[in-house]
Amino acid sequence: EIVLTQSPTTTAASPGEKVTITCLASSSVSNMYWYQQKSGASPKLLIYSTSSLASGVPDRFSGSGSGTSYSLTINTMEAEDAATYYCQQWSSNPLTFGSGTKLEIK
């Protein structure tokens, strides 16, 4: 099983600040996917195939990476971006998710 380790576990950012969340895979994966989950809601797809923006997602979100290291970047933090973010891989079975990064607004 591929283990996805996210960092940081928790972070806070001021409006306008740049935020980067990292996801390290225990083995190489071909692509990474990112979700945003707000309290009490279902996860929402943000990024697919490492760097493609899902429909309706603001372009302040971006994804990059390869092999075992991937990242999600929010270019300019907004209050509505406060949420928990998860990475996900399905390069090998079973599909796995990262442990999550909780992002708070300062």
- 47-106: contacts with another protein (CB under 8 A): 48-49, 54, 86, 88-91, 93-100
Strand partners, 96: 89
Number of shown-chain residues binding another protein (CB under 8 A): 24
Tell the smallest beta-carbon distance from residue 90 to another protein (Å).
Answer: 4
- 6-45: contacts with another protein (CB under 8 A): 31, 33, 35, 42-45
Alpha-carbon span 55 to 92, nearest angstrom: 26
Q: What residues contact 99, with CB distance under 8 A and at least 6 apart?
A: 4, 5, 6, 9
Phi, psi of 67 (to 5 degrees): 60, -105
Residues lying near another protein in the complex (CB under 8 A) are found at: 1, 31, 33, 35, 42-45, 48-49, 54, 86, 88-91, 93-100
